[in-house]
Copies of this chain bind each other. A is one copy, B any other.
Amino acid sequence: MRTADEHALAALSLAPDPVPVELDLRHALGHVTAAAIRAHADSPPFDNSAMDGFAVRWADVHSAATAAPVMLALMGESRAGVPFTETLVPGRAIRIMTGAPMPAGADTVVPLEATSGDGADVTVLEARSEGAHVRRRAEDARTGDEVIGSGVELSARHLAAAAAVGAAHVVVFRSPRVGILSTGDELAPLGATLAPGEIYESNSVLLDGAVRRAGGMPVLLGPVRDSVADVVAAIRRDDVDLIVTTGGVSVGAYDVIKAALTDLGVEFMTVAMQPGKPQGLGSVDGLPLLCLPGNPVSVAVSFELFVLPVIRAMRGLPQPLPWTPTTAAAGWSSPAGREQFMPVRWDAGSVMPATGAGAGSHLMARLAMADGLARVPADVTEVRVGDSLEWRRFAG
């Protein structure tokens, strides 16, 4: 049997290269940059005032810094969006608003609160230094500067920075479209009245949400009945980048995914893990498929370990997600020779099982209480209270 890490690498090797696309800045939130974003314009684009006050020549007001107040006649006004277009005449001042362009000839701003005056002239009571309260053109970013690197997951602040330097579009990696196919004659739709032997279909609900949270775009391809023809028809898609199936991968007589896809080139194998031992993966006509078992807890674990890294790779994000140390707040058993991934609740630095990992892999309602997965090495058969182990919070 291969290890979970080996299977994760095999899954990752199927991931198509991320596809760069140009998006409007307003649609790029959460995408990963495929190229650096450079300044198309200086930021700020011109020298401007940091305060409401008066634009002056330092040569005219420097005596106010040390000796007596200085009175200057006003020539006009510069405000945001409505610059003063003439040149400041020596011995005079221009009223200026925060963000407004510095008029030609002015080199210093005196804030309103350091002045007095009646409108026709202004008396400068204090002056700090040459260039005070002036924001310099390009002091934030100069045209051509790299403002955001390649491989950055774009936050609201990144987008605003790109906007501020004149970018309207950005080149990012496309969100992978992930087909989701659940299978089983026993599956009833959401909220339906159950016929004898039926259960509610919940795996596509889990995968739909998990794919969204991982930054992919889910496309529901099912559920389908246990019919080889239906399965084969459902996976013939050209509008998805990856297909994830659930159920039908084991040794039973009716394991339809295995029956339908083995001849098409998908490989089925056992992985030394609990839950999630039966797995399948491969490509059909170039379309990668990851075939997960059908138990809900197995699906949640397999998504975290095998599907999430593939989606991250297709989004241009690095691997792998880290595991962090914790301790066990309860004891539980783990199978010999298989790594165990136990859904756990986290509380104050330690973890305890939310569901079982083996016999409990159908306990979907309890899985909702889990915060993440604890990882128990293959050679450990008993986790005891206080034991050190590793865990990872669910990604979404």
Q: CB within 8 Å of B: which residues of A?
A: 25-26, 29, 39-41, 43-46, 50, 52, 79-83, 95, 97-101, 112, 135, 139-141, 145, 147-148, 155-169, 184-187, 190-191, 194, 196-203, 205-210, 212-213, 225-226, 250-254, 294-296, 300, 359, 362-368, 370, 394, 396
Secondary structure at chain A's binding surface: helix, strand, loop or mixed?
A: loop
Assuming the A-B contacts A41-B194, A45-B194, are A81 and B226 also in contact, with contact meaning beta carbons closer than 8 angstroms in the complex?
yes
| Docked CA distance A244–B52 (Å) | 23
Q: Is B184 a contact partner of A80 (Cβ separation < 8 A)?
A: yes
Cβ A210 vs Cβ B156 within 8 A: yes
Shortest Cβ distance from A344 into chain B, in angstroms?
A: 13
Known contacts A29-B213, A200-B41; A190 and B205 CB within 8 A of each other: no
Contact A184 B81 (CB under 8 A): yes
B residues less than 8 Å from A164 (CB atoms): 199-200, 202, 296, 364-365
Bound Cα distance A366, B161 (Å): 8
- For the complex, give the distance between the alpha carbons of A167 and B365 in Å: 12
- The chain B residue sitting closest to A83, CB to CB, is B197
Beta-carbon contact of A46 and B196 below 8 Å: yes
Oligomer copy total: 2
Taking CB atoms, residues of chain B closer than 8 Å to A184 are: 80-81, 99
Q: What's the least CB distance linking A317 to chain B, in Å?
A: 17
Report chain B residues within 8 Å CB of A205.
25-26, 156, 159-160, 162-163
Whether A197 lies near B81 (C-beta < 8 A) is yes
- The residue of chain B having its C-beta at the shortest distance from the C-beta of A368 within the complex is B161
Write out the residue numbers on chain B whose beta carbons fall within 8 Å of the beta carbon of A368.
Answer: 147-148, 155, 157-158, 160-162
* Contact residues in B for A46 (Cβ distance below 8 Å): 196-197
Question: How far in angstroms is the closest Cβ of chain B from A53?
Answer: 10
Are the C-beta atoms of A212 and B394 separated by less than 8 Å? no
**Shortest Cβ gap from A209 to chain B (Å):** 3
CA gap between A194 and B206 in the complex, in Å: 48
Judge whether B208 and A156 touch: CB under 8 Å.
yes
B140 near A365 with CB under 8 A, answer yes
Pick from B44, B135, B197, B212: contact of A29, CB below 8 A.
B212
Q: Do the beta carbons of A364 and B197 come within 8 Å of each other?
A: no
- Give CA–CA (A40, B188) in the complex, Å: 14
Q: Which residues of B contact A112 (CB under 8 A)?
A: 251
Give every chain B residue within 8 A of A83 (Cβ-Cβ). Answer: 196-197
- Contact between A213 and B80 (Cβ–Cβ < 8 Å)? no
Docked pose: A275 CA to B41 CA in angstroms: 25
| In the bound complex, CA of A90 to CA of B261 (Å) | 39
- Residue contact A163 to B185, C-beta cutoff 8 Å: no
| 14 pairs from A and B in contact (CB 8 Å cutoff) | A40-B191, A83-B196, A95-B253, A100-B197, A155-B368, A156-B209, A157-B367, A157-B368, A157-B370, A157-B394, A160-B300, A161-B364, A162-B368, A164-B202
**Chain B residue at smallest Cβ distance from A53:** B252
A215 CA / B287 CA spacing, docked (Å)? 34
A226 to B29, CA, bound (A): 29
Q: How far is the CB of A82 from chain B (nearest CB, A)?
A: 6
Using Cβ atoms and an 8 Å threshold, which residues of chain B touch A26?
190, 205, 208
Residues in B with CB closer than 8 Å to A367 are: 157, 160-161
A139 proximity list for chain B (CB < 8 A):
363
A42 CA to B25 CA, complexed, in Å: 47
A79 touches B45 (CB 8 A): no
Residues of B within 8 A of A44 (CB): 199, 362
Contacts of A101 in B (CB 8 A): 196-197
